[in-house]
Amino acid sequence: MYKFQPILKSLIWGGEKIAPYKGISTDQRNIGESWELSGVKDNESVVAEGPEAGTTLPGLIARHGAALLGKENYERFGEEFPLLIKFIDARQDLSIQVHPNDELAWERHKSKGKTEMWYVVSADKDAHLRSGFSKQVTPAQYEASVADNTITDILADYKIHPGDVFFLPAGRVHSIGAGSFIAEIQQTSNITYRIYDFNRRDADGNTRELHTEQAKGAIDYTVLPDYRTHYEAAQDARVELVSCPYFTTSLYDMTRPQTLDLAALDSFVVAICIEGRGTLTDDSGATVTVHQGETVLIPASARSLTFTPDGGMKVLTSWIG
């Protein structure tokens, strides 16, 4: 089992919640994102402790192959880790954006697309986010709404609370709002089309590049009655939140030990500790401690995994398959 050094990103809209949440000391300010587990080029996660400390995530895959990823995943992705795990702290509204699907991303960028999900860890009193269109619009109407600064009027806007979940398939227009603290699980892709940035300027007075025209062909204009993912919360049981071809994510809210039978699962497991602390133990007896804000990668070779909370612990798990 592996823990990694977080990759902290200072961003124009970033806040000051990530470091204290994770229990780390840093002089870095305006940390908008902590990349917890990443195989993205030039942003590769590095093992933080143990005999393989200092090894990059791609280096681990090169060394262990299917034993780490799972046979089918290794055949499908090779030495590219297929998920990107982040914490996001939005002090300001993030840009309105969209991501292309696999087909369009390959056609335009020779890359994979980007389907993702959000789990709300915490939220300020008036925190909100946007997901999907609130009414049917044409591509021309979308473009006009960007030009006249009214695009927020045609997006579904949600006040959020801890535990809220949003699934964001590629093509869905979205934006994280000010006061949101979120765990994000996504395909490994860094392709984002920035549609609208509230005419924001950086310290040098420059606006950020927009991709309004590229986004027009990537957007799914389908309107849904509700874009929130609904689930029944339960203690000491697996609660599945999202299942799609790119990841399956579940929530465990634990007051006592829980054991996952992984014998039939041909995949790595990512465990993201959202709240509390405890230990993870695999079938070989290997144990790792984990606390709020930490992420652990469990190799596909593990046949079982036991969570032992220290008082209480909430964990998100994700795998492929």
Which listed residue (29, 91, 108, 194) is catalytic?
194
194 is known as an active-site residue: yes
The pair of structure tokens assigned to 1 is: 């089992």
What are all long-range contacts of 219-223, with beta carbons under 8 Å and residues at least 24 apart? 219/98, 219/139, 219/142, 219/171, 219/173, 220/169, 220/170, 220/171, 220/172, 221/133, 221/136, 221/137, 221/138, 221/139, 221/142, 223/132, 223/133, 223/134, 223/135, 223/136
Instruction: Give dist(CA 215, CA 193) in Å, integer.
Output: 6
Q: Starting from the edge strand earliest in sequence, which strands make up the sheet with 155-159, in order? A: 155-159, 128-133, 174-176, 96-98, 193-196
Q: Which residues are catalytic?
A: 194
